[in-house]
Structure 1
Amino acid sequence: MAYPKSVWFIICNEFCERFSYYGLRTVLVLYLTSILQYNDDQSTIIYHMIVFLAYFSPLFGAIISDSYWGKFKTILYLSIVYAIGNLVVTGASLADSFSLNNQRYLALLGLVLISIGTGGIKPCVSSFGGDQFELPAQEVYLQKFFSIFYFSINAGSLISTSITPELRKDVQCFGRDTCFPLAFGIPAVLMVISIFIFISGKPLYKIKKPESNVIVTTSSCIYNALKKKLSLFSSNITKSHWLDYADDKFSEKEISDIRSALEVIYLFIPFPFFWALFDQQGSRWTLQATLMNGRIDFLNWTMKPDQMQVVNPLLVLLFIPIFEVLVYPLLAKIGIRKPLQKIALGGFLAALAFVLSAIVQNMIMGKAIHIDAGNGQLRLFNGFNCNVTVKSSANLFDHNLASLETLEIREIKVSNETSFPISLFIDSSCSSKLSETNLMSNVSIVEGKETSYFITHMNNKLNLKRIGYVDDLTKHSNPVLRIINSDDLSNKVFTMKNEESGKTAIELNLQTLTTIISVPLGKYRVFIDETFLTELYLLPFSVNTLTLQVNSEKISSHLAVLEKGNYIHIAWQLPQITVMTVAEIMFSITTLEFAFTQAPSSMKSLLAAVNLLTVALGNLIVVIVSEVRYFDNQAYEYLLFAGLMALDMIVFILMCSKYNYKNYSEPNEQTKLKT
């Protein structure tokens, strides 16, 4: 018998659909943060809610397909919903004339439609391809089809994961230094093309009519068993298993198959925690990568933060044959042979990957200011382009503060709040511009805080102004910039332009004395009223103070870095990605094998659906943790997930201790326990 030509339409359709889904998903979290202006936590929540819906809707797609529409109509109708969602998201990224809220609503609507579409067709496409073969005559062809089908999935995801970040970052459009409309538009076009390809193959398809759905049948059996058990609660009627109470409506084989499936589903309970960790590669780990240096000098190319997601599928393809030939035989020699053992080991490796991500996060953050109990700190910012002598009557310091210099006194013994007098004397080179060249004033030091003062002028007199505490400047992933300016610069237009793109990143009117902003890391050119002033290089997790003052009719500026972050190379993410990839191979692929071999043939689609549901629930866990946001330090959140994953696997091992492996290879499908 000839190889069915119809399957090539299905394979091409799957390639285009996976290109569309992974292309959009790769750049999604950066679109949410940079264009829709959600913060990191909000973006993480939205990202994982979309993934949750994408893996929850297969349940409904399977029910609709098997009970009502059939596979062809389900794929067609939901693909149209999918394509509309793509177009809506692309339109939202183009809608600059809309208010920010309207852009957000439009984008979220499109993302929901995409999730419903991709999830709804997920359980149908591969099985529809399988329907095109005559079995058992074309069994060999069927195996080749699934191999080609799996290759098309990985090819689509690999190509889109590589290309869409380039379109997002390296192409500039519509007045922005990014081009999300193109990054979303090409996946949208591919999705529309996939629909036309799928429809074109209709004359060749073998289309089966919908039959009863195993999910509906299983749910009905469980419902009837529980209902009858409760109604007979007060009677003396007992059954060997609670599912046997449904024997009036379901056959002995149906009940036996469902019982076997439930034994496997029971072991699936801890699985969502793995997916909670795994899927953060597209959210938290991508946001972490935005704080790292992706420059590869010998290639004269910069790795985009979202492109790090391509490393995982590449390593999967590389590692699978290595595991089959080398790793699994070695593990067998130390007693790790059974699927549940491999799954548990994979879970522990996922925990290790998050420990590594916490280490990288701490490397990026650098050290924060630490003040011991009973101490306070003082910073004095000299706004003059000449020397200022600073003396304290308490003999705490006597310092000649150079032009635009910052004086840091890191240890001052203090209880609660203490004030003491200081004297300021300005150098003669500046004295001719001031009517008073010295000043007696008081400074206050607060226990456990770093207090800042600005040495400036007001009404041609030397002046000392308190500008608050350093710890008022919360340390974020993006650099924090505090601008201190003299009064004569108030209401001047302060502009920061990205040095690479030339685009305006920040434009604001300077306030009286101080302004605090958060900006993306990078190199900037600073302008005051369109006149170039200076260049700034702001690192991640840094807290910076920029002093601005008019001296001799010119604006003087100086940047003081109060807390430093580290701009480490993006390659530091490779260890955590590698360990997570190994965890995926041992956990995810082994789970598929375990579910397939440990359930009767009638229940395999049910277990596939429940396995997808664990992915959905895992993403829901991330949403809950991000919503609670117990930790300000992201590294602590990574460690929390690592600890929960390790604890989860310990529980899983206890749950597996009494499990008996089954063998359904016999023709009559009678369960045979393995020794």
Structure 2
Amino acid sequence: MAAEEVQNRKIRYPKSVFFIISNEFCERFSYYGMKTVLSLYLTNSLNYDTNTSTILYHIFAMLCYFFPLFGAILADSFLGKFKTIFYLSIIYALGNIVLSIGAIPVLAIPHRTISLLGLLFIAIGTGGIKPCVSAFGGDQFVLPEQSLQLQRFFSFFYFSINAGSMISTFLTPALRNDVKCFGQNSCFPLAFGVPAILMIVSVVIFVLGKNLYKMKRPEENIIIVFISCIWQAVKNKLTSKNSEKKEHWLEYAQDKFSKQQISDIQAVLNVLYLFIPVPLFWALFDQQGSRWTFQATNMDGRIFGYTLKPDQMQVVNPLMILFFIPIFELYIYPALKTVGIKRPLQKLVIGAFLAAFSFVVSAFVEYNVQSSYGVMSVANEGQIRIFNTLNCNVVINPSIENVTSIESLSALELLHIPVKNSKKFDVVFSIDEKCPYSLNNVNGIINVDENKVIEIFYSSASDSILDVNLRNVNNPNQNSIDFKKIRNNTETDFILIPPGTYDLISNSVVIKKNIVFNPGEVDIILIHRTNSSNFESNLINLMPSNKVHMLWQLPQIIIITAGEIMFSITGLEFSFTQAPPSMKSVLSAAWLLTVAFGNLIVVIVSEIKFFNSQVYEFLLFAGLMVLDVLCLIVLCLKYKYVNFENNSENGNIDIKQNGKELSSSQATDVSALTQ
């Protein structure tokens, strides 16, 4: 009978883990869905420039990897894993709701403040539960006979996370771009709202399994022990009057900590100094969601009748991760082993080098993409655009930069006017003597500021209000795209429209037929009404269309994904095999902090603005990464590998790093799975 009970215990699978896996799927869907469209939301809706958006994006990412430290302490020392996950998930869901409300344009609220508050709540929530969910799932397997079941759990856990991330990474950009709401040509409230709903569902699912969970009481947190021991050693060393020298400075903490604890912490410190170069890798890796996404916005996404959204390129990374893992295990690593590359630190160096190479490739792509960029205003220069909406020429007296007139229905673009602080032009606008009607001269003072653009429209005050819209020629059933009413031809309305061919219409009268709008280009249409039913118009291109296809980003994404596998998985393998069993959670927290510091590096570089050209910034990161690799090589050559007996009771697990769950059979402590 006893043997029968043991057999039953071996095959009985804890039902509680299905609630945890379902919860994780919804939570990861929510996180990745929101994060995928975040950088474009900051620019397109909150009107931050790309540099400020990059800074805010990486501050958010930094916080997401900083709060796990507090989540682990809260769970292990005070509340326990269940309560920590539950309370922080509520904050998490609240953050999603707040972000969705902040994205509704018709509400009279401080949209920037509300949105940033929502992001803070999300960072607290997702960061706080990172070290808890997977470990809580591992807690459900308490019997030694359940080691195989535990391994399968982490496989399911791994699959649910990647399924949630891949689906949301592809879906939310479509919700953002293809759905129109609140009078806008996009729908960020929906793109954030669906992840918010999934996060609420995540909390509900998690609570539904409460009666089935096996819960452990909170105990002393090893991270607190680690920090306390170091603090005690430093304090005693500085205040000690004893001339006796210690073999290691940590031994000054022997008055409060055991020899075993000090020995274990010393072993961890020997690994931690190798983490010094690690943050720069994540500085490069995490720019897939910021700089590389902004790069994609200036590229042509049309493919087989479908238009890829810039943020959808982020789905390539998790797809390639799933494809590459077996390829590396079966072919790449055995091939490297034949040439003597088999130790973790050797693979780590190769992964770091691949990250540097990916940014060289991205710089090459950016160099070609820049041909699609308009001429931007820079230091010591200003720009003037004067649009003539009349059907006759306008004379400028005195000339501006040697230009004396503007042709009918055209624009004068002076893009490189030398300016230091400010420059004033006192001019008179008059119509050409051949004009069929008379207009009074217009005296004007044009103040041009350094690094700014000023736009002026010259028109007739007698022009009437026009109600204008665009109709898609290829899809006549599609609703027309309305401009706001144009009064006296002086008001412009820049709107985002899908690429295609359109007719320009005013009150059922076709003004201009078959206007082709290509991806990325910026155009302005000048319209002049000659009588009640006749118009003259001209399309002026202010910025050329995107000529480089978005798929040219694939090489840089594939290269950095390969680098991620060799750097992230191998780095965690090295960390956990080189740390004492009692200190594995400390290494997990330290590894997450390297991601936080990596995002901080991006914030600093973006704030300093070393270069105006994005090409040079990409090359800067590539160069820094090469120097980082050299530093890593020096540190690795000095390191001596150690062996620790595996005391884990939980068997092998799958581990996740930086948003992608990665398999590693060498990581043997469930508590170390911090993401």
Q: Normalising by structure 1, what TM-score? A: 0.79
Is residue 486–residue 492 contact of structure 2 (8 Å, CA) maintained in 1?
no
Cα deviation code 1:300-338 (max 9, x no counterpart) = 322222111111100000011001111112222333221
Number of the residue aligned with 1:149: 157
Counterpart CA distance in 2 for 1:10 and 1:72 is: 11
Distance 1:309 1:8, change over 3 A: same
In structure 1, what residue type is equivalent to 2:220?
Answer: S
The answer to whether the aligner puts 1:612 opposite 2:585 as a matched pair is no
Asked whether the equivalents of residues 392 and 409 of structure 2 are also in contact (C-alpha less than 8 Å), the reply is yes
The offset of 1:212, in angstroms, is 0.6
Provide the secondary structure at the position in 1 that maps to 2:219: coil
Measured against aligned partners, the alpha-carbon deviations of 1:481-501 in whole angstroms (never above 9, x if no partner) come to 967544558897797869686
Partners of 2:390 and 2:460 within 8 A in 1: no
Q: Aligned equivalents of 1:45 and 1:407: distance in 2?
A: 35
2:145 counterpart of 1:137: yes
What value does the CA root-mean-square deviation take over the aligned residues? 4.2
Q: CA deviation at 1:61?
A: 0.3
- Structure 1 window deviating more from structure 2 (354-363 vs 595-604): it is 354-363
1:129 CA displacement:
1.0
Aligned-partner Cα distance in 1 for 2:600–2:220:
30
Assess, with a 3 A threshold, how the Cα gap between structure 1 residues 8 and 338 changes in structure 2: closer, same or farther: same
Residue 71 in structure 1 maps to residue 81 in structure 2: yes
Correspondence 1:287 to 2:294:
yes
2:264 equivalent to 1:254: no
Tell me which residue corresponds to 1:106: 114
Q: Secondary structure at the match of 2:579?
A: coil
Any idea what SS the aligned residue of 1:138 has? helix
Distance, in Å, in 2 between the alignment partners of 1:363 and 1:34 is: 24
For 1:111-122, what aligned pairs fall within 5 Å after superposition? 111-122=119-130
2:212 maps to 204
Q: Secondary structure of 2:14's partner?
A: coil
One-letter amino acid of the structure 2 residue matched with residue 129 of structure 1 = G
Task: Tell me the distance in 2 between the aligned counterparts of 1:369 and 1:307.
Answer: 27
Residues 627-673 of structure 1: per-residue CA shift (max 9 Å, x gap): 2223222222222211111211211111222001111136799xxxx
The 1-side partners of 2:506 and 2:55 are apart by 38
Change (3 A) 1:61 1:472: closer
- SS of equivalent to 2:128: helix
Secondary structure at 1:358 match in 2: helix
CA–CA separation in structure 2 for the residues paired with 1:83 and 1:260: 39
Alignment of 1:327 with 2:332, yes or no, is yes
Distance 1:323 1:658, change over 3 A: same
Whole-angstrom CA distance in 2 between matches of 1:407 and 1:174: 35
Is 2:362 aligned against 1:357? yes
> What are the within-5 Å matches in structure 2 for residues 1-150 of structure 1?
1=10, 2-94=12-104, 96-99=106-109, 101=110, 103-150=111-158
Q: Residue in 2 aligned with 1:269?
A: 276
- The corresponding residue for 1:316 is 321
Preserved contact between residue 75 and residue 81 of structure 2 (Cα < 8 Å):
yes
How many Å apart are 1:229 and its aligned residue? 0.7
Q: What does the per-residue CA deviation read over 1:97-155, in whole Å, with 9 as the maximum and x for residues that have no partner?
A: 214x3x22222211111110111111011111111112432222212211211111111
Shift of 1:609: 0.9
Alpha carbons of structure 1 residues 497 and 544: separation in structure 2 relative to 1, 3 Å: closer
Q: Which residue matches 1:452?
A: none
Q: Is residue 341 of structure 2 the alignment partner of residue 336 of structure 1?
A: yes
State whether residues 521 and 545 of structure 2, in contact with CA within 8 Å, keep that contact through their aligned partners in structure 1.
yes
Change (3 A) 1:70 1:542: same
**C-alpha distance 505-31 of structure 1, shift in aligned 2 (>3 A):** farther
Partners of 2:159 and 2:648 lie apart in 1 by 33
- Residue of structure 2 in register with 1:665 after alignment: 645
Whose Rg is larger?
1
Cα drift, residue 5 of structure 1: 1.6
**1:218 and 2:218 equivalent?**
no
Letter in 2 for 1:268: F
User: Do the aligned partners of residues 330 and 469 (structure 1) sit closer, same or farther apart at CA in structure 2, a change above 3 Å counting?
Assistant: farther
Q: For 2:121, give the aligned amino acid.
A: L
Aligned with residue 588 of structure 1, among 568, 573, 594: 568
Q: In 1, distance between residues paired with 2:206 and 2:414? A: 71
- 323 and 558 in structure 1: CA distance in 2 versus 1, 3 angstrom threshold: same
C-alpha distance in structure 2 between counterparts of 1:26 and 1:203, whole Å:
35
For residues 45-70 of structure 1, give each alpha carbon's deviation from its aligned partner in whole angstroms, at most 9, with x where no partner exists.
22211111111000000001010001
Distance 1:187 1:231 in 2: 53
How many residue pairs match? The answer is 611
Distance 1:230 1:402 in 2: 80
Find the aligned partners of 2:127 and 2:43 in 1 and give their Cα distance: 25
- Taking the aligned partners of 1:494 and 1:357, their CA distance within structure 2 comes to 44
Q: Greater relative contact order: 1 or 2 (C-alpha under 8 angstroms, separation 6 or more)?
A: 2
CA 501–111 in structure 1, closer or farther in 2 if over 3 Å, else same: farther
AA aligned to 1:182 is L
Instruction: State the TM-score, normalizing by the size of structure 2.
Output: 0.79
CA contact (8 A) 2:459 2:489 kept: no
| Maintained 8 Å contact 2:465/2:485 | no
8 Å contact from structure 1 (residues 494, 507) kept in 2 = yes
The code of the aligned residue for 2:330 comes to: V
Aligned residues of 2:299 and 2:520 also touching (Cα < 8 A): no
Contact 1:65 1:124 in 2 (8 A): yes
Structure 1: 5+ residue stretches without partners: 371-377, 389-395, 411-424, 435-456, 475-480, 670-675
Task: Please give the alpha-carbon distance, in whole angstroms, between the structure 2 residues aligned to 1:176 and 1:110.
Answer: 22
Which amino acid in structure 2 is aligned with residue 272 of structure 1? P
Q: Per-residue CA shift, 1:510-553, capped at 9, x if unaligned?
A: 798xx999765865776899976547656678687866667799
Could you tell me whether the CA contact under 8 Å between 1:76 and 1:195 is conserved in 2?
Answer: yes
- In 2 relative to 1, CA 470–331 (structure 1 residues): closer, same or farther, beyond 3 Å? farther
Query: Is structure 2 residue 356 aligned with structure 1 residue 346?
Result: no
Superimposed CA distance per residue, residues 227-260 of structure 1 (whole angstroms, 9 cap, x where no aligned partner):
011112x642211111111111111111111111
The one-letter code sitting in structure 1 at the alignment partner of 2:213 is: Y
Q: Do 1:291 and 1:521's aligned partners in 2 also have CA atoms closer than 8 Å?
A: no
